[in-house]
Structure 1
Amino acid sequence: MALFTFNRAADYLDAAREMADSGRPTLARLLAEEAADRTADPQEAACILADFPGRSLRTEG
């Protein structure tokens, strides 16, 4: 198992890919959403989310 440090959007994106590859699409989507949130370019953020389809399961309030 890889050890991740989550300091950058790329860290979340790497983790999202690993979760997707291991059959955990919901966790992959949540990590991708965090990566997108940490991405300054809105078009790049949209591309990240497009790579991990699904609706958001976040519960923020």
Structure 2
Amino acid sequence: MEKLTNIPTYSAFMQLLDNYESDIHVRERETIGKISMSLAFLDRCLETDVMRESYSFLLRKGKTHHPM
């Protein structure tokens, strides 16, 4: 388990786990902190080799563009 905590994507995901209501009838409250953690997780995902390769593939196929 300790080995997983050294993986940035996994670590960022673990921080998200307590951010959401498990009861679908309870309305979620969005906070700046929750949004920041979600964006941090997405950033870590986009830094992975798989996502970089996926982005390159989409770029070559003309399905996306370079960010400004």
The bucket for the TM-score relative to the shorter chain is 0.3 to 0.5
- Greater gyration radius: 2
* TM-score, normalised via structure 2 length: 0.36
Bigger RCO of structures 1 and 2 (CA < 8 A, at least 6 apart): 1
Structure 1 or 2: larger helix share? 2
